[in-house]
Amino acid sequence: MLTGTGVDLAPFLGLTAATAFLGRYRIAFSVVGLAVNAVGVAISVQTLTRLTGRAGA
């Protein structure tokens, strides 16, 4: 148990490691997020177009 003054520091060290890992791949995560959002928008537009029967919905 990593302790300072009776406080368990392991969760904070894990959070630091996760932040370092995610920071390293920040651009990749952003690109994947944008791609997933674009797919969601395309599906939404397709669904709305099909349900309303109009191309300009």
pTM of the model: 0.56
Tell me the per-residue pLDDT of 18-42, one tens digit each, with 9 for 90 and over.
Answer: 888 888 899 999 999 999 999 999 9
Mean pLDDT to the nearest integer, 28-57: 89
Q: How far apart are alpha carbons 30 and 9 in whole angstroms? A: 30
Q: How far apart are alpha carbons 11 and 16 in whole angstroms? A: 9
pLDDT for the residue 5: 59
Q: How far apart are alpha carbons 51 and 47 in whole angstroms? A: 6
DSSP annotation of 43 reads H
